[in-house]
Amino acid sequence: MSPPEPRLKLLHISKRYPSVVANDDVSLSVMPGEIHAILGENGAGKSTLMKIIYGAVKADSGEMLWDGRQVTIANPAQARKLGIGMVFQHFSLFETLSVVENIALVLDEPFDLAGLAIRVKEVSERYGLPLDPHRRVHSLSVGERQRVEIVRCLLQDPKLLILDEPTSVLTPQAVQKLFETLRRLASEGVSILYISHKLHEIKSLCDSATIMRGGKVTGDAIPRDETPATLARMMIGRELPVCEAPPYHGPVHPVLQVERLSLASDDPFGTSLHNVSLTVNAGEIVGIAGISGNGQAELLAALSGETTVDREAVWLAGEAIGHLDAGRRRDRGLVFVPEERLGRGAVPALPLDRNALLTGHRQGMKRWGLVAFAKAQAFAEQCIARFDVRCSGPGAAARSLSGGNLQKFIVGREIMLAPKLMIVAQPTWGVDVGASAFLRQTLLDLSRTGVAILVISEELEELFEISDRIAVLAAGRLSAPQPREQADAESVGLQMAGLFNEGNAAETGHAPA
């Protein structure tokens, strides 16, 4: 009996852009019912390869075989007709439409909306992803929105499902539910291509893995036979550094104090804050976990000064600053690294030395209202060297850097401003394992110099690695922070679903009178 044909076989796929070779002679096979991981650092070529399979990008050369016959996929509609579905990392849903209306938008065949709603309910329940087809998307949690994306693919009876960082916004409990669904799909013969930076998930879920580096395939692995450390070594070509958190021996005093902060959201789809209290001391990192959309944006705006609040709701080193704007808070020693690197953390089209001016202009880069360009360039050069930013130099445009290197520049720029308090949102979002380890160690080292650091992240593994205390934000309410050694992923996951007691002023400590 002859062995079965691969569901998908890529032969010598190459894709070149003017400044980079994204895929260089890539070959791989995926069998029916196989969960196959694609591993690699940022810039390894994973996303380009997936877009070629899905028809969103055209390869320059190479062959694609589908169930043993050669195919050319010109666009995503053609990919869907073959049976290829893709769930992207960033959802593409319309907030004001219902679940069934969002699903209807991508169907290639005629449909009856009432009949489609019945199908959505049946398919979602069959695969353990229950959805109310008539709910508006803006009322759904992030995990429920991901269900919409997956069910949208399942309605088209896929033979191959591509998932890009599918667990980055899920609680540990929701991750396990997703894995149950994926294993069930695989048992029914669906092939799955799975991209994730979370190596313990790859080891738990995937049958096989292809490792990419610099656009090339550099190896294959059976994840269950490896450790996260060996997988990381295959990805980055060296040992992954282990973060070290030495004890802090300096004076302990409150640097950031938040007192009973309540804030109504201006966004109709936002989340209002309710009686949030928190203290971050010198020399410690406090992590706030939670699924996006639970008040993180509103809390960050209130703390950074983008939104002003009651004067005594926010204190910095004993001074009430709630009424001060972002610039005046920066003058007092607060720095902020936003979640969105391009657009908020940096201007994409500007070179790094000009981006240094955005927050570093207070460091002697202006005089009598004029920019001292030589000082801005020197500052950028120092930041590039000190924080190992891989780029062509201070004249490199921000958008030309990989996500990890741009994040190292932005974090480095803020550290060089000698802050009392650093607030960081999603420090390693979409960053590969090597850059993630560097950034986490950088934050740990900074905290041990006496700087207070508040980290808001959806990466539980990250928070357990670097935080001294961990709190959870759910539905605009903040839990009482727990010492890291007293917390565990299971309990934090339940708190992310809103099952906790809120912190209070007695727990966090009163602000100065």
For residue 492, give both structure tokens.
């934090």
* φ, ψ dihedrals at 497, nearest 5°: -85, 5
Please write the tens of the pLDDT for every residue from 259-311: 999 999 888 778 999 999 999 999 999 999 988 788 998 999 999 999 999 99
Do the beta carbons of residue 257 and residue 301 sit within 8 Å? no
Asked if pLDDT for residue 504 goes beyond 50, the answer is: no
Share of the chain above pLDDT 90, in %: 62
Q: Using the structure block, give the residue that is written with the tokens 């690294």.
A: 337
- Provide the token pair at 353: 């030395």
What integer is the mean pLDDT of 377-393?
93
Question: How far is the CA of 168 from the CAs of 34, 197, 290, in angstroms?
Answer: 22, 9, 11
pLDDT tens per residue, range 423-477:
999 898 867 778 888 999 999 999 999 999 999 998 888 999 999 999 999 999 9
Which H or E run includes 439? Answer: helix 433-447
User: What is the Cβ-side half-sphere exposure of residue 17, based on CA atoms within 13 angstroms?
Assistant: 10
What is the rounded CA–CA span in Å between residue 75 and residue 56? 6
As a whole number of angstroms, the distance between CA 87 and CA 73 comes to 18
The confidence score (pLDDT) of residue 169 equals 66
pLDDT greater than 60 at residue 508: no
Q: What's the whole-model pTM score? A: 0.77
- CA 465 to chain centroid: 16
Supply the pLDDT for residue 57.
92
pLDDT tens digits, one per residue of 127-152 = 888 889 999 998 887 778 888 988 99
Alpha carbons 457 and 348: distance in angstroms, whole number = 23
pLDDT digit string (tens) for 17-61?
887 789 999 999 999 999 999 998 877 889 889 999 999 999 999
How confident is the model at residue 16, as a pLDDT? 92
Top mean pLDDT of 105-114, 206-215, 430-439 is at 206-215
- Walk me through the domains of the chain, giving residue ranges and CATH numbers: 8-236 (3.40.50.300), 254-333+419-508 (3.40.50.300), 349-415 (no CATH)
Give the Cα separation of 308 and 301 in Å (integer): 8
Task: Report the alpha-carbon distance of residue 426 to residue 385 in Å, rounded.
Answer: 23
* Rounded average pLDDT over 344-360: 93
User: How would residue 396 be classed by pLDDT, with cut points 50, 70 and 90?
Assistant: very high
Q: Is the dihedral of CA 399, 402, 403, 406 positive or negative?
A: negative
| Residues above pLDDT 70, as percent of the chain | 96
C-alpha span between 453 and 472 (Å, rounded)? 16
Q: Rg for the chain (alpha carbons), in Å?
A: 24
Start-to-end Cα distance in the chain? 83
Q: What SS3 string covers 133-163?
A: CCCEHHHCCHHHHHHHHHHHHHCCCCCEEEE
In this predicted structure, the answer to whether residue 1 has a pLDDT above a threshold of 80 is no
HEC assignment per residue over 468-501: CEEEEEECCEEECCEEHHHCCHHHHHHHHCCCCC
Half-sphere exposure of 220 (CA within 13 A, CB side): 8
Token readout for 234 is: 């295959």
pLDDT per position as a tens digit, 226-259 = 988 888 888 887 777 778 888 999 999 999 999 9
What pLDDT, on a 0 to 100 scale, did the predictor assign at position 503?
63
Buried b (16+ CB within 10 A) or exposed e, 452-475: bbbbbbbbbbbbbbbbbbbbbbbe
pLDDT exceeds cutoff 70 at 96: yes
Residue pLDDT, tens place only, 159-197: 999 998 887 667 777 788 889 989 999 999 999 999 988
For residue 220, the SS3 value is: strand
- Range 60-83 average pLDDT: 94
Average pLDDT over the chain, rounded to whole?
Answer: 89
Confidence tier at 347 by pLDDT (50, 70, 90) = very high
- Pairing of the two strands 160-164 and 84-87: parallel
- Picking from 43, 14, 41, the residue whose alpha carbon sits closest to that of residue 26 is 14
Give me the residue label for tokens 């905290």.
Answer: 447
Pairing mode, strands 273-281 and 35-39: unpaired
